[in-house]
Amino acid sequence: MERQQPWSESVLEQARVLREQGESLRECRQALPRGSESGTYARDLEGELAAQAERCDAAAASLETAGEALAAHEAVLRERRRR
């Protein structure tokens, strides 16, 4: 597999951090009494962290696709300049 571009690596790192925060939050929530307001709030935050991580994954994939298209376009321009 090709090495990822720095910008997508950064976005993927953010997704990893969000997932770790979600795991940590889940552990804390499990220590709270069931049905407590804090537990409900923590569960909602868990869901938001997971959603943000998914958006980061999608953004990284989009950046990779854009990077590949840009590289292909640059190759065409280089070839045209050589002619």
Cα angle for residues 79, 81, 83 (degrees, 5° grid): 75
> What is the residue-level pLDDT of the chain in tens, covering all 83 positions?
455 667 678 888 888 898 999 888 888 888 888 888 888 888 888 888 889 988 888 888 888 888 888 889 999 999 999 98
- Indicate yes or no: pTM above 0.75: no
Side-chain half-sphere CA neighbours of 22 within 13 A? 18
From first CA to last CA, the distance across the chain in angstroms is: 32
What is the reported pLDDT for 59?
87
Residue 45 burial (C-beta neighbours within 10 Å; 0-12, 13-18, 19+): middle
* Token pair for 32: 């709270």
The pLDDT of residue 3: 57
Instruction: Give the tokens for residue 45.
Output: 């935050």
